[in-house]
Amino acid sequence: MVNDRFPVSSIGVDSLNTLTNNRFQSQDSFGKWANQIMSDSPSSVDGSDLVSSVSSGDESYSSLVVEDPQLSLPEQLFNLTDVFPAWVSSTEKSKILVTRLFQIDYLHISKSNLTCVCGDEVVPAEIVQDGVYRCWVPPHSPGFVNLYLSLDGHNPISQVVNFEYRTPVLHAPVASVEEKNNWDEFQLQMRLAYLLFAKQQSLDVFSSKVSSSRLKEAREFSLKTSFISNTWQYLMESTLDNKIPFSQAKDALFGIALKNRLKEWLSEKIVLGCKTTEYDAQGQSVLHLCAILGYTWAVTLFSWSGLSLDFRDKFGWTALHWAAYYGR
């Protein structure tokens, strides 16, 4: 899962000490940043309404950014929750899945015939199931384009997001800076996976006396995040008959596993009454590593769990500091 636009460098203790000497003096709250992101997210989640598609690592909802402010509506009819995949080949007709969550005042439009506007192309948005649309986009020159759903093929009724057409790789690339960045990002992903998988606290949860209020919080969190478990079926559907490239399938598998484990990990923290989390050997926590990797979807899960978004790492940096450092 490589973000071509924002290469990730590995961070060691020595280089972190150097960064600390020049750390941000601003004490801006990461919570304020999260609230801005969450302003387009549902304040409550109902299991029957919220359906999310597969996302591939950091190239999922993290890529949904407004590209052209002039295309925004004064009032959008629904929120896009995912676009899968986040990029397609520029030389082939490709299928993408778009999921959305209608605002309650516009549920009557959910069965309307919508179109998907992708750059200069307008294609039908076919209903796969409630909340999920399938769009076939034609070949296009490489680069980023605006993508949104529309009723008339012109005006957006959702966020306007970035969508990428990539030039297919025709031969095995030689060792390059890109390959080094891939390995650097993989090391960060390994550190995050270690914190989530190697230190499971299930036994602590079973052996501790859990208050009724914590159980209630855990149930509410589980309800809000139930859509994550449903993404497995989209991955299996997409891999039938090799419908997506093998590299995308592998990235999607890792991304789904990571999201499901983070959901379980946060549930354990809620039951145990934790408000902060432990560091790894390099001094970062799960939240800090998610910020470094650009996993903005983790902000929503942390916000729903009640864990602190302003938690500082060993060097005094919040997740906002790391996100800003990497230009997120």
pLDDT at 171: 58
Neighbours of 157 (CB within 10 A): 20
Tokens encoding 260:
């499901």
d(CA 251, CA 25): 36
pLDDT tens string 183-208: 899 999 999 999 998 866 555 555 56
Compute mean pLDDT per 10 residues along the chain, 328 residues long, and list them. 40 41 41 42 38 37 42 62 89 90 69 88 90 92 92 88 87 66 90 84 60 87 86 82 82 90 91 84 94 92 91 93 90
Residue with tokens 């409550």: 44
DSSP characters over 268-324: HHHHHT-SS----TTS--HHHHHHHHT-THHHHHHHHHT--SS---TTS--HHHHHH
Rounded CA-CA distance 62/279 in Å is 24
Distinct helix (H) and strand (E) counts, the chain = 11, 8
Secondary structure (3-state) at 57: coil
* Beta carbons of 261 and 196 less than 8 angstroms apart: yes
From CA 209, how far away is CA 204, in angstroms rounded? 10
Contact partners, residue 306, CB within 8 Å, separation at least 6? 217, 270, 275
Long-range contacts of 117-125 (CB under 8 A, 24+ apart): 117/146, 117/147, 117/148, 117/149, 117/150, 117/153, 117/154, 117/156, 118/145, 118/146, 118/147, 118/163, 119/145, 119/146, 119/147, 119/163, 120/145, 122/150, 122/153, 125/98, 125/149
Cis before 124? omega within 30: no
Q: What is the pLDDT of residues 243-284, one digit of tens each?
A: 788 888 888 898 899 999 999 999 988 988 887 788 899 999
